Amino acid sequence: MIEQIVTRPRPVWLTEEEVDLDHDPAVVATVPAPAIAYVRFHEAVVRPEVEVVAWNEHAVRVRFTARDGQTHEGWVWKDAVRSKPPRTIERRR
């Protein structure tokens, strides 16, 4: 069990210095917004569906659940996040 926890991949989030909340306070979402974000792991970069939970001028706090069921939350650069397009159902003619 301990080996699984130690070896389980974890995202590489922005540091407190990079987010700089002291000089650029975050806006907290009243309702998390769906999006897609580039999230860095040491092993790879993935683009999971995420929820945007907060942001400031240059960073966005996202939350997502990985395939193993583990929930991750942290800060990424704002340019790493894209709005998730709404699903549309095409009408048959």
Tens of pLDDT, residue by residue over 35-92, are 999 999 999 999 999 999 999 999 999 999 998 899 999 999 999 999 987 666 666 6
Q: Is the alpha carbon torsion for 33, 72, 66, 11 positive or negative?
A: positive
Helices (H) and strands (E) in the chain — how many of each?
A: 2, 7
User: What DSSP state is assigned to residue 21?
Assistant: T
Per-residue CA distances from 38 to 10, 13, 24, 25 (Å): 14, 11, 22, 22
Q: Is domain 8-83 annotated with CATH 1.10.1740?
A: no
Higher-pLDDT residue of 3, 42: 42
**What global pTM score does this model have?**
0.83
Separation between Cα atoms, residue 18 and residue 21, nearest integer Å = 9
pLDDT, one tens digit per residue, over 14-36 is 999 999 999 999 999 999 999 99
Separation between Cα atoms, residue 10 and residue 21, nearest integer Å = 23
Separation between Cα atoms, residue 69 and residue 28, nearest integer Å = 25
